[in-house]
Copies of this chain bind each other. A is one copy, B any other.
């Protein structure tokens, strides 16, 4: 796991991205992240490791990491952008409208259908966004 971060660090440096204390801290925080935190939450988690870390640096770093394909940005309805590591396999999201909880899911069938539809209309998919806003079934 420390190993993974090291490899990532090297790759980023190779891409011309300087790994400052701030960025290293954010990479650490992201490595431990299992949920979908927004910029403010990531800042909150990283500040203890880099006192004085500014929110603008968080935003700038997140943009840089997104550009490098290290993280993904999601813009769910009525919420600030949130982030997750990009290393995981592609998936889509269900958002519990009552709790805000995010559940990941994946459907190859749907992906196929999406691709087919785009093709039939003369397009190719650059990326897509599929979000199910749900509530727990009272059973």
A interface vs B, CB < 8 Å? 75, 77, 94, 96-97, 103, 105, 107, 109-110, 113-114, 117-119, 121-137, 139
Judge whether B126 and A129 touch: CB under 8 Å. no
**Known contacts A129-B130, A132-B114, A132-B118: A124-B137 contact under CB 8 Å:** yes
Report 22 cross-chain contacts, Cβ distance below 8 Å, ordered by A residue.
Answer: A75-B75, A94-B117, A94-B118, A97-B126, A103-B123, A110-B114, A113-B113, A114-B130, A117-B132, A119-B137, A122-B137, A123-B134, A123-B136, A124-B134, A125-B132, A125-B133, A128-B130, A128-B131, A128-B133, A129-B130, A129-B131, A130-B131
